[in-house]
């Protein structure tokens, strides 16, 4: 029962789309009809500018953290099952939100919150590499994918150092696959050279 509760709560929490809410509030537009069409911080930056984008990024990260903490607080054991499923549910909610016709974002900011809470150091190292790649290439999507793909690798490498449950490796792999799927159009654009760079207005 408790497990179902944290999965549903995580999903409902993740379903709150801050880019949708903030774009509606500030510009009275549906963020999904502008820029890349993605309900996320990067597209908020394109469509609304730095301030709203930072707010969306922070709030989407916080909802990932909150979902995982709900799982941690209600977990009956140390297996990591509750926090992992709560975090995964939040990411699924962000990507396919029940409140907005199941059309959401790509889950990166929520994933940052989830992974930074569960596997802090792998997420930190992967995050620093991702930020460096964004500065160098100006492709946020490439940085996002580097982050989500490198975190499982580093979690596996550091599993004994930080005593992570093996479940966290499985979770990070699932999250990476999910992220690759959500970024498939970005990947195609990166390959054919048409991906938009950071700093370009919508
Ligand atoms: O977090 C989403 C980012 O990786 C790509 O967003 O709007 O460029 O498709 P966008």
Pocket probe for ligand 1: among 17, 37, 43, 195, the residue whose CB has the most ligand atoms within 8 Å is 43
pLDDT, position 115: 98
pLDDT tens-digit readout, 129-140 = 999 999 999 999
pLDDT, position 200: 66
Q: What is the DSSP string of the chain?
A: -HHHHHHHHHHHHHT--HHHHHHHHHH---GGGSTT---SHHHHHHHH-HHHHHHHHHHHHHHHHHHHHHHHHH-SSSSSHHHHHHHHHHHHHHHS-GGGTT-----HHHHHHHHHHHSHHHHHHHHHHHHHHHHHH--HHHHHHHHHHHHHHHHHHTHHHHT--HHHHHHHHHHHHHHHHHTHHHHHHHHHT-PPPTT---
- For residue 186 and ligand 1, the question of a CB distance below 6 A is answered with yes
Dihedral pair phi/psi, residue 200, rounded to 5°: -80, 130
Radius of gyration of the chain (CA): 16
Residue of 94, 95, 75, 99 whose CA lies nearest to 85: 75
Ligand 1, atom 6: closest residue by C-alpha: 42
First to last CA, the chain: 45
In a 3-state reduction of DSSP, which class is residue 101? coil
pLDDT, position 55: 98
Q: Is the pLDDT of residue 199 over 90?
A: no
- For residue 141 and ligand 1, the question of a CB distance below 6 A is answered with yes
Q: Tell me what ipTM this predicted complex has.
A: 0.94
The minimum-distance atom of ligand 1 relative to the CA of 144 is 4
pLDDT, position 1: 87
Q: Is the pLDDT of residue 201 over 60?
A: no
- For residue 38 and ligand 1, the question of a CB distance below 6 A is answered with yes
pLDDT tens-digit readout, 36-80 = 999 999 999 999 999 999 999 999 999 999 999 999 999 999 899
pLDDT, position 165: 96
pLDDT, position 59: 98
For residue 160, name the pLDDT band (cuts at 50, 70, 90).
very high
pLDDT, position 198: 86
- For residue 171 and ligand 1, the question of a CB distance below 6 A is answered with no
Q: Can you give the pTM of this predicted structure?
A: 0.95
pLDDT tens-digit readout, 138-155 = 999 999 999 999 999 999
pLDDT tens-digit readout, 69-113 = 999 999 999 899 999 999 999 999 999 999 999 999 999 999 999
- For residue 43 and ligand 1, the question of a CB distance below 6 A is answered with yes
């Amino acid at each position: 029962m408790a497990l179902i509760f944290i999965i549903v709560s995580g999903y409902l929490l993740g379903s709150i789309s801050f880019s949708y809410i903030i774009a509606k509030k500030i510009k009275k537009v549906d963020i999904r009809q502008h820029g890349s069409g993605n309900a996320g911080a990067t597209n908020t930056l394109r469509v609304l500018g730095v301030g709203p984008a930072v707010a969306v990024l922070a709030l989407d990260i916080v909802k990932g953290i909150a979902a995982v903490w709900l799982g941690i607080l209600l977990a009956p054991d140390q297996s990591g099952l509750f926090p992992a499923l709560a975090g995964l549910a939040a990411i699924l909610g962000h990507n396919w939100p029940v409140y907005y016709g199941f059309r959401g974002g790509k889950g990166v900011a929520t994933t940052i919150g989830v992974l930074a809470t569960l596997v802090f150091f792998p997420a930190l190292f992967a995050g620093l590499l991702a930020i460096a790649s964004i500065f160098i290439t100006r492709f946020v999507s490439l940085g996002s994918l580097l982050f989500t793909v490198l975190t499982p690798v580093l979690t596996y490498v550091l599993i004994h150092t930080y005593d992570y449950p093996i479940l966290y490796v499985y979770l990070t792999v699932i999250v990476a696959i999910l992220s690759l799927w959500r970024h498939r159009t970005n990947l195609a654009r990166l390959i054919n050279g048409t991906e938009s760079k950071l700093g370009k207005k919508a």
